[in-house]
Structure 1
Amino acid sequence: MALAAAASGSGTVARPLVDRGVDLYLRRLRTLLTIPIQVKACRHVSPDGTVSEDFAISDIPDAARGYWAMVHVPPPYDQLYRRLYLIPIDELRRRCLRLNSHGVQSLRFIADFAGTVEDIWSPFAVDIEHVSDWLAAIPGWAGPVRSIPAAGKLDAVSTSDDLGTVGMASLTTLWATAELERAANGGIMVAEDRIRLDTVTLLTHHLGTGRFAGLHLRTAIFNDTRRTHFEVKRPHFFVDPNLWVSLVLLRPDLRVHDFGLLMPSGDIPELGYSETLTLDPLTRRFRKYRIASAEFGSTYLSNAFHITVQSSLADRQADLPMAG
């Protein structure tokens, strides 16, 4: 909450759905500029304000990037102390004492929360009232946000969001998350904003490269007419080479249809922000974006991160030995 407040409307905080070493992601709104943050908290400090904490080296993988935050939450209150530490991960590894703690290779962090002495961590100490200054110093954070692209064609009039799918967005998000996790096999982290403020439904973080990509999910139910409506809300939309838009089609029984659409965000202005589609046959200008729903996870990861992953369909069709 302190980070979101410090961003003053310029940033949003996402929480990963599976913990793989990052506790939260701070992202500049309407961009994919993202800061991974791992948070450690201590309840007690010494009488002079010193904290000494050991943590396993394995808790911070070699590929980890971003920042490590140490905060103090003095009892009996659930409120942050005014001073906190925001330390780049590489500096944390370099400056911490390495030791064997109870048979575990560990790093020892010793710092002065009272701020009465200068130590190796003083350059990374931030007063909670000045977190906004820390954010502003991050390269690219304070830069202008690109304007919303103009539509290549006149939008159709629409008075609804995801026509006919009220309450279905969460179902689609759960499905997409499961497909991404299945395809990546532990190689990514999928995060969702605590409060949605722009077009990014899911933020994906490739752990091997540290790269980020965004996914904007749209949901549409079709009926016997084999027609449906597709709409992207322009006020929240932005274009980025690593932002993708997916239309997930649901059958009347709410099962995911056998195909959907996966489109680069840069193509949306020309395609139109509000369109009615026919599915059989699929509207011509959308045909090149058609993907098998069973291949959604692997196709997205290949497009977003340029990596080859095992086919989700092949994984499902593999013969597994019976137990016993």
Structure 2
Amino acid sequence: MRNHTLLDEFILLGIPHTEGLEPVLCATFSVIYLFTLLGNLLIFTAITSSSTLHTPMYFFLGFLSIFDMLFPSVTCPKMLLYLSGQSRAISYEGCAAQLFFYHFLGSTEGCLYSVMAYDRFVAICHPLRYMVIMKPEVCVTLVTVSFMIGCLQATTLTSFTFQLTYCGPREVDHFFCDIPAVLPLACNDSSLAQRVGSINVGLLALMLLFSVCVSYTHIGVAILRIRSVEGRQKAFSTCSAHLTAILCAYGPVIIIYLQHTPNPLLGAVVQILNNIVSPMLNSLIYSLRNKEVKNSLKRILQNKFFLFK
């Protein structure tokens, strides 16, 4: 694929209509990125260090924390570099890598949300059979299938995008290399790649969202059947954090890839919410609303405090 292009690099134009705001944006996104890494690292540490959290739900949550550290790391470091005054150039290979890992991690995380919804469905609708259904081999298989779907999706989209010839211009009207921003730069017809990108991303997102809705419809019916108020509140609290995270993740994807005419400013704002803000919110949602995670974090911090006392 590399021999078909005359370009060695692309230029990332960044976030539209933010000229002169680079220092403020750099400081803001640096803080958000740091909190994202630290928050998700704390959740992952809490899960791995506490034996009481070695259950299927927290197994999936641990993987989600890893993805929420890796996903913003695909785009944020490069964005922070050029916001701090460094070069906006990104190599052809670097651009392809950004696009691949963005869709690999994003698609895999989307599959993981569906898996977590199914896990909550089994826990609430079939509590007596939960540990039989969600046995370790099943959990590992579900995560492996999620990885495979993400890899296949990313490989397909990257191949269709970078099999085209790029001979100029080279200015990417975005803050990272994504399909809607890169395809307009192709020197030959990109309509097929555009259709494949829109259909694949949109269809996968809608299918995963549909599976989540099916799981939560059954969960909602099961919760309404719980007689005790305390039981309903506990079941609702368990699922509300996951449902909030799902809405934050799927909303931006559907908005961006189902647009008839790409809007650079809208795309940048939505992608910032999806790439940078949403992974940070996930760490806050799952740590502040989850008693088990909070108790595990307290024990870890107390042990560290006494260790250095």
The TM-score range, normalised by the shorter chain, is under 0.3
Task: Tell me the TM-score normalized by structure 2.
Answer: 0.25
> Over alpha carbons, which structure has the higher Rg?
1
Structure with the larger strand share: 1
Structure with the larger helix share: 2
**Of the two structures, which has the highest relative contact order with CA contacts closer than 8 Å and spacing of 6 or more?**
2
